[in-house]
């Protein structure tokens, strides 16, 4: 902290300019406008621009956007590719079999979009309503008052060297105070994690669980492009004990959004989600789509998989959690944008009522109640048992999903439970190494090659943002027991175990490669790694993700 630190006061601070944070701001500003009032609303975004850290598939279910901005078409929202046809495929190494598309995965009425672009457009809508958006500013600490109520956040200092000295461009962080603080950081938010721990918001019998989604965007020749096609796959290249699958979306103009999600409850430490994506692209069914194209963008992000039973208490003294920070993703649908927007709207309505009623902070229990009365809750309730059933393997999971969907119609009188992902890793000595094929340089690539397509811009001369609680643990436990799984689950080559004849093996952390996916924070087997925001504006610069 420095004496020259700036202090600012707002009605509401929102951490994160994703769909949840932007919808919160827009709805609040709309409600104020209806009463000819204006709230001071500030959104902090750690990406250099809105959208630069946003990654999704993405197929958009427009239900909540229709509620938030009914005339989005006339206003020119970047939503131009309707989902027309869909396929749900079970892959073997050389073949593919069409499965009946389950109702959750039907996409009639939905759109294939770039969520980065949609967020940039939502940001312009918010700004037109008077919302102040600060891209390039990461919220790095939470401010509490003497009664332990959240009263705002602190943004990180900029211009600090690795050794802690201030550089010529040093700028101290700002203290931002608000009546209400909204955490909209998305999946595995760094401040959200703190606030959940501070107020014990999470039910420990159902921890949040995650998958890691790694995505590429390809440009392909027009003759091969089938605009509006949505393909989901299960099976190969994963074994039947590992949850995950691929997606391929044809979006205009001539783009393919392609990715692979691996459940982070996988047990074999030799597994590399990145290499699974590279193998996936070599499947004859997928290779033929990509062969004449070129990869133009790369990124990765964790996705919530815990469902209804893992949603924490969503309010705390001084604020709320919205969107994937709370975990409102519908796993069988692989969709969370519509619930993120809706939860932001409901949070805004509760905050608006509270701001009108009292100058003092009140607990926003009305938000929690509104969620339970909304379609978010009924949707997530119906879906709640499908993902946990896959803990028993692909075949059991598929059979259970069919039984739950078609016979029980989501109304089972039981709820299956979730287990923490980091506890699922087995020792390397009890698992078989996986031999991944060599990259061919046309369809499959090494990490450093595609990492250039994430357009990362992060100074290496800054204090480490990937914090190790114990510096011996990576060698003593991670390397010895698990054969260094972080070198494989990190999709950006950040973690490298280096050994040479002159020194003992050590963990080298290439922090400037980090693309903010948060997989290390989730999967590290001893929870020794804590992800914190680097200098604001650092990290990837996604354009079409
Ligand atoms: C591979 C993949 C595929 C997906 N496919 C689909 C799909 O097809 N359809 C669908 O509906 N959903 C999909 N999702 C889910 C969807 O991306 C999320 O549900 C949605 O983005 C959640 O919105 P959010 O606003 O809660 O969080 P995010 O979209 O994650 O936005 C959070 C924002 O907060 C910022 N932020 C975080 N921490 C801080 C901080 N401390 N300070 C400042 N800023 C911060 C981030 O930079 C980011 O901009 C997919 C997700 C993944 C990973
Ligand atoms: S260091 Fe962690 S957050 Fe960064 S890219 Fe690697 S796994 Fe993701």
Whether 44 and 167 map to the same domain: the answer is yes
Whether 177 and 104 map to the same domain: the answer is no
Q: Is the CB of 451 under 6 A from ligand 2?
A: no
The 10s digit of each residue's pLDDT in 39-75 is 999 999 999 999 999 999 999 999 999 999 999 999 9
pLDDT > 70: percent of the chain: 99
Ligand 2 atom with the shortest distance to the CA of 511: 1
Ligand 2 atom with the shortest distance to the CA of 531: 3
Q: Is residue 359 part of a domain?
A: yes
Whether 291 and 174 map to the same domain: the answer is no
Q: How many structural domains compose the chain?
A: 3
Work out the angle at residue 49's Cα, subtended by the Cα atoms of residues 44 and 51, and round it to the nearest 5 degrees. Answer: 90
Q: E strands, 335-494, where? A: 466-468
Whether 283 and 322 map to the same domain: the answer is no
Domain that holds residue 296: 81-115+209-304
The 10s digit of each residue's pLDDT in 243-258 is 999 999 999 999 999 9
Q: Is residue 486 part of a domain?
A: yes
Mean pLDDT for the stretch of residues 93-97: 95
Non-local (6+) Cβ contacts of 187 within 8 A are 210, 301, 302, 303, 304, 324, 325, 327, 329, 518
Whether 287 and 216 map to the same domain: the answer is yes
Ligand 1 pocket (Cβ < 6 Å) reads 15-21, 44-47, 53-60, 115, 138-139, 184-187, 189-191, 213, 215, 259, 261, 301, 303, 323-325, 329, 334-338, 340, 533
Q: Worst-scoring range by mean pLDDT, 120-124, 342-346, 358-362?
A: 358-362
CATH label of the domain that carries residue 45: 3.50.50.60
Distance of alpha carbon 115 from alpha carbon 518, whole angstroms: 19
CATH label of the domain that carries residue 499: 3.30.70.20
Whether 12 and 65 map to the same domain: the answer is yes
pLDDT score of 2: 46
Q: Where are the alpha helices (DSSP H) in 474-523?
A: 480-482, 486-489, 519-523
pLDDT score of 342: 98
Q: Which of 16, 22, 140 to mutate to test the pocket of ligand 1 (most atoms within 8 A of CB)?
A: 16
Distance of alpha carbon 147 from alpha carbon 159, whole angstroms: 33
> What is the pTM for the complete model shown?
0.97
Mean pLDDT for the stretch of residues 4-20: 92
Distance of alpha carbon 15 from alpha carbon 352, whole angstroms: 18
Q: Whose CA is nearest to atom 3 of ligand 2?
A: 518
pLDDT score of 499: 87
Q: Which of 212, 467, 494 to mutate to test the pocket of ligand 2 (most atoms within 8 A of CB)?
A: 494
Distance of alpha carbon 505 from alpha carbon 534, whole angstroms: 26
Whether 241 and 365 map to the same domain: the answer is no
Q: Is residue 537 part of a domain?
A: no
Q: Is the CB of 517 under 6 A from ligand 2?
A: yes
State yes or no: pLDDT of 95 exceeds 50. yes
Ligand nearest to the CA of 83: 1
Ligand nearest to the CA of 495: 2
Ligand nearest to the CA of 339: 1
Whether 45 and 121 map to the same domain: the answer is yes
Q: Is the CB of 320 under 6 A from ligand 2?
A: no
219 CA to middle of ligand 2, Å? 26
State yes or no: pLDDT of 259 exceeds 60. yes
Question: Do 18 and 340 form a contact (C-beta atoms < 8 A)?
Answer: yes
The 10s digit of each residue's pLDDT in 374-424 is 999 999 999 999 999 999 999 999 999 999 999 999 999 999 999 999 999
Mean pLDDT over each residue of the chain, to the nearest integer: 96
Distance of alpha carbon 144 from alpha carbon 3, whole angstroms: 19
Mean pLDDT for the stretch of residues 274-302: 97
Q: Is the CB of 91 under 6 A from ligand 2?
A: no
Residue reference for tokens 């101290």:
172
CATH label of the domain that carries residue 240: 3.30.9.90
Question: Do 118 and 124 form a contact (C-beta atoms < 8 A)?
Answer: no
State yes or no: pLDDT of 1 exceeds 50. no
Q: Which of 56, 104, 143, 181 to mutate to test the pocket of ligand 1 (most atoms within 8 A of CB)?
A: 56
pLDDT > 90: percent of the chain: 94
Whether 60 and 180 map to the same domain: the answer is yes
Ligand nearest to the CA of 490: 2
CA atoms within 13 A on the CB side of 145: 14
State yes or no: pLDDT of 182 exceeds 70. yes
Whether 349 and 427 map to the same domain: the answer is no
Q: Which of 46, 212, 456, 520 to mutate to test the pocket of ligand 2 (most atoms within 8 A of CB)?
A: 520
Q: Is the CB of 260 under 6 A from ligand 2?
A: no
State yes or no: pLDDT of 223 exceeds 60. yes
Whether 156 and 269 map to the same domain: the answer is no
Q: Is residue 29 part of a domain?
A: yes
Cis status of the peptide bond prior to 58, with omega within 30 of 0:
yes
Q: Which of 299, 464, 518, 529 to mutate to test the pocket of ligand 2 (most atoms within 8 A of CB)?
A: 518
pLDDT score of 459: 84
pLDDT score of 360: 64
Confidence of residue 3 (pLDDT cuts 50, 70, 90): very low
Whether 110 and 123 map to the same domain: the answer is no
Q: Which of 304, 336, 362 is the last residue of a domain?
A: 304
Mean pLDDT for the stretch of residues 129-155: 97
Confidence of residue 210 (pLDDT cuts 50, 70, 90): very high
Q: Which of 278, 304, 330 is the last residue of a domain?
A: 304
Non-local (6+) Cβ contacts of 452 within 8 A are none
Non-local (6+) Cβ contacts of 501 within 8 A are none
Q: Which of 272, 304, 336 is the last residue of a domain?
A: 304
397 CA to middle of ligand 1, Å? 26
């Amino acid at each position: 902290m420095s004496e020259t630190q700036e202090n600012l006061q707002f009605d509401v601070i929102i951490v994160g300019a994703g769909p949840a944070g932007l919808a919160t701001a827009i709805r609040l500003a709309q409600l104020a406008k209806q009463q000819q009032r204006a709230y001071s609303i500030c959104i902090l975004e750690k990406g250099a621009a809105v959208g630069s850290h946003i990654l999704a598939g993405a197929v958009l279910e427009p239900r909540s956007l229709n509620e938030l901005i009914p005339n989005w078409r006339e206003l020119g929202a970047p939503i131009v590719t309707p989902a027309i046809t869909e396929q749900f495929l079970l892959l073997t190494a050389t073949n593919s079999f069409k499965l009946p598309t389950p109702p959750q995965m039907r996409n009639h009425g939905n759109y294939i979009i770039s969520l980065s672009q949609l967020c940039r457009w939502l940001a312009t809508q918010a700004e037109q309503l008077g919302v102040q958006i600060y891209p390039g500013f990461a919220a790095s600490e939470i401010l509490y008052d003497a009664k332990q109520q959240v009263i705002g956040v602190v943004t990180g200092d900029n211009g600090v060297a690795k050794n802690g000295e201030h550089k010529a461009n040093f700028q101290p962080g700002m203290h931002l105070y608000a009546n209400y603080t909204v955490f909209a950081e998305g999946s595995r938010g760094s401040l959200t994690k703190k606030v959940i721990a501070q107020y014990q918001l999470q039910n420990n019998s159902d921890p949040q669980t995650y998958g890691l989604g790694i995505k590429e965007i390809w440009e392909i020749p027009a003759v091969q492009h089938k605009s509006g096609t949505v393909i989901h796959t299960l099976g190969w290249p994963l074994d039947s004990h590992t949850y995950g699958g691929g997606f391929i979306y044809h979006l205009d103009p001539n783009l393919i959004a392609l990715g692979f999600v691996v459940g982070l409850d996988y047990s074999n430490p030799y597994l590399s989600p990145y290499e699974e994506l590279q193998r996936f692209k070599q499947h004859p069914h997928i290779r033929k789509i990509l062969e004449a194209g070129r990869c133009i963008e790369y990124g990765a992000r964790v996705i919530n998989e815990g469902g209804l039973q893992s949603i924490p208490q969503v309010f705390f003294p001084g604020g709320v959690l919205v969107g994937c920070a709370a975990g409102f993703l519908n796993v069988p649908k692989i969709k969370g944008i519509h619930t993120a927007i809706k939860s932001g709207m409901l949070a805004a309505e509760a905050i608006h009522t509270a701001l009108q009623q009292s100058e003092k902070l009140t607990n926003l229990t009305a938000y929690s109640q509104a969620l339970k009365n909304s379609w978010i809750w009924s949707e997530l309730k119906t879906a709640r048992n499908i993902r946990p059933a896959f803990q028993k393997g692909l075949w059991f999971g598929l059979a259970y999903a069919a039984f739950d969907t078609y016979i029980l119609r989501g109304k089972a009188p039981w709820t299956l439970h979730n287990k923490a992902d980091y506890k699922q890793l087995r020792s390397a000595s009890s698992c078989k190494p996986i031999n991944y094929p060599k990259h061919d340089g046309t369809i499959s690539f090494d990490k450093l090659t595609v990492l250039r397509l994430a357009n990362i811009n992060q100074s290496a001369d800054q204090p480490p943002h990937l914090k190790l609680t114990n510096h011996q643990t990576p060698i003593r436990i991670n390397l010895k027991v698990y054969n260094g799984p972080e070198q494989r689950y990190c999709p950006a080559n950040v973690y490298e175990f280096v050994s040479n004849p002159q020194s003992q093996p050590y963990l080298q952390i290439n922090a400037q490669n980090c693309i903010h996916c948060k997989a290390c924070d989730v999967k590290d087997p001893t929870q020794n790694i804590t992800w914190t925001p680097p200098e604001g504006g650092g990290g990837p610069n996604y354009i079409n993700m």
